[in-house]
Amino acid sequence: MSTGDESKAKSSAPNESSDPSEQSEFPAPAWTRGEPRIAGATDVGVVRKINQDAFGRFDDPDRGEIFVVVADGLGGHRGGEVASRMAVDLLGVNVFEGDSDPPTRLRNGIASANDAVLLAAREDPMLDGMGTTVVCILLVEGDRSYVAHVGDSRLYRLRAGRIEAMTEDHSLVATLVREGVISEDDARTDPRRNQILRALGVRGDLEIDVAPIELQPGDSYLLCSDGLHGMLDDDEILELAKRSTRPEPVVARLVEAANAAGGTDNVTCVIANVPEPMPVDGLRGAANRLFESTRSVFTRRGDPDLGDASAPDRDSSENDA
């Protein structure tokens, strides 16, 4: 997969695979205050034959930024799969281009991907009518982070034992719920629940929602397609997420639960865990262990009680290394 300027943005998007189920544990860049731990998983589900979801993670080490994105394709036998993959790959490059502030780069990146998907659909009749939802988060070290989305893929924040949706679905039933026309319970079975009002690649004048997020140590951020939140309610998602502090088993468990609940759609989820600061005692213990391990290297040939007298000189230690 090409990510454009490899010196600028490092891609960790999962590779395309014939396996209907796919899970990725992403490596983390070196954030000075501890790296977010990120993992993602996608599955074709129980009913569908093609997985039209896509996800990825991209890094800009120079800016100290991590970009995570989930896309849920729609339209045609092949179009949705192409649209979601295009959106993920293009956004992984676009959001790091230029010197604008993060929200501007997010808007510009999504708008540019929208134009590219529209053009591809016009040039290939087989892709006519394709589009995709997008939800993404730009994690910024030491500064405010941002979420952007189009459609009904969601970002949740898990904080202090609670779950909160950080996005509002751009769908017909979500609008009816917000206006008090139908209840949330009714919305889950409403036959119009798959009708979305915004999607990338459908029209040129795309409206994009961008909002700031204040990261706190211990936060977890869950990006997911409606194959997850359409099968599990928020409390079920929270209970499953609370069973582990590591994102890898959580995403696997969420996908499994969505399929067990019916799996009527492709399901994709990515979790980013913001690390807790290491306690002072933990830092002191780590420093002591480092000191002891270093000391053992220089005293391994002699009597430790002899201290420096038994340590090899610089030349001999280098030859022994």
Burial of 197 (0-12, 13-18, 19+ CB in 10 A): middle
**Tens digit of pLDDT for each residue in 103-162?**
999 999 999 999 999 999 999 999 999 999 999 999 999 889 999 999 999 999 999 999
Once rounded to an integer, what is the mean pLDDT over residues 159-186?
Answer: 88
Q: Give tens-digit pLDDT for 208-240.
A: 999 999 999 999 999 999 999 999 999 999 999
Q: What totals of helices (H) and strands (E) does the chain contain, helices first? A: 9, 12
Q: Which residue would you say has higher pLDDT here, 262 or 18? A: 262
Q: Is the predicted pLDDT of residue 307 greater than 60, yes or no?
A: no
Q: Specify the range with the lowest mean pLDDT, choosing from 60-69, 75-84, 236-245.
A: 75-84
Which pLDDT band holds residue 306 (cuts at 50, 70, 90)?
very low
Distances (CA, A) of 78 to 85, 91, 121, 275: 11, 20, 11, 39
Cα–Cα nearest to 271, from 165, 161, 156 = 156
pLDDT tens-digit series, residues 39-57: 999 999 999 999 999 999 9
| Overall residue count recorded for the chain in this entry | 321
Provide, for the chain, the percentages of residues in helix, strand and coil under a 3-state DSSP scheme, each rounded to the nearest 5: 35, 25, 40
Q: How is residue 81 written in tokens? A: 């799969």
* pLDDT > 90? residue 179: no
State the Cα–Cα distance between residues 298 and 310, nearest whole angstrom. Answer: 8
In contact, 46 and 264? CB cutoff 8 Å: yes
Burial (0-12, 13-18, 19+ Cβ within 10 Å), 204: exposed
- Residue 76: pLDDT band (50, 70, 90) is low
Instruction: Give the whole-angstrom CA distance, residue 238 versus residue 156.
Output: 10
Half-sphere exposure of residue 294, counting CA atoms within 13 Å on the CB side?
Answer: 7
In three-state secondary structure terms, 297 is helix
CB proximity list for 57: less than 8 A, separation 6 or greater: 11, 12, 13, 24, 26, 38, 40, 66, 67, 68, 69, 270
Mean pLDDT score, 178-193:
81
Q: What are the structural domains of the chain?
A: 10-273 (3.60.40.10), 280-320 (no CATH)
pLDDT band at residue 187 using 50, 70 and 90 as cut-offs: confident
Q: What's the CA gap between 272 and 250, in Å, rounded?
A: 11
C-alpha to C-alpha distance for 109 and 151, rounded to whole angstroms: 16
The H-or-E segment that residue 251 falls in is helix 247-260
Please indicate whether residue 222 or residue 303 has the higher confidence score (pLDDT).
Answer: 222
Residues of the chain with pLDDT > 90: what percent?
64
Residue with tokens 């009816």: 176
Judged on CB neighbours under 10 Å (0-12, 13-18, 19+), 250 is buried
* Residue bearing the bigger pLDDT, 151 or 3: 151
pLDDT in the model for residue 14: 57
Average pLDDT, the chain: 83
Indicate whether 321 pLDDT > 70. no
Would the pLDDT of 258 be above 70?
A: yes
